Structure 1
Amino acid sequence: MNIKRIFGALLTALGIGGLIYDAVIFTNTSGSERDIKALIIYGILGTVFFIAGISLVRTTKDES
């Protein structure tokens, strides 16, 4: 069991969840300043977590 792969999968799942939540906020937004700040924050965090998780899974070698 490789801890790095599990952590990478967890980061990827969190990133996907953040991006989906960002999309939900985007569809329900009314254009206020608070909505735009939330869109930016969740979008950036979701993207960072998703990219970090994918790169961690890709670069971790399988050693059995």
Structure 2
Amino acid sequence: MNQKRTFGAILTILGIIGIIYGALGFMHVAGVKLSTVNAIVPFAVGLIFFFAGINLVKATGDRA
């Protein structure tokens, strides 16, 4: 597998984790107690990582 695709997959996974953590902090469930402003930060960073990873995987072509 290509290094760019691997890095894209890692960014996507980190983005998913950030989105979930931000959502849990926003809803105050599962022991994650964050204020609304502090919950927006991991959610926004997660969105950036998620879309950057998806675009990196999609834009990288396969070579045989």
Q: TM-score, normalised by structure 2?
A: 0.85
Unaligned runs of 5+ in 2: none
Deviation at 1:52, TM superposition (A): 0.1
How many residues are treated as equivalent by the alignment?
Answer: 60
Stretches (4+) displaced over 6 A: none
Alignment partners' CA distance in 2, 1:11 and 1:2: 14
TM-score, normalisation: structure 1: 0.85
Q: Which residue of 2 aligns with 1:20?
A: 20
Q: Which runs of 5+ in 1 are unaligned?
A: none
Aligned-residue CA RMSD (Å): 1.4
8 Å Cα contact 2:26/2:40 also seen in 1: no
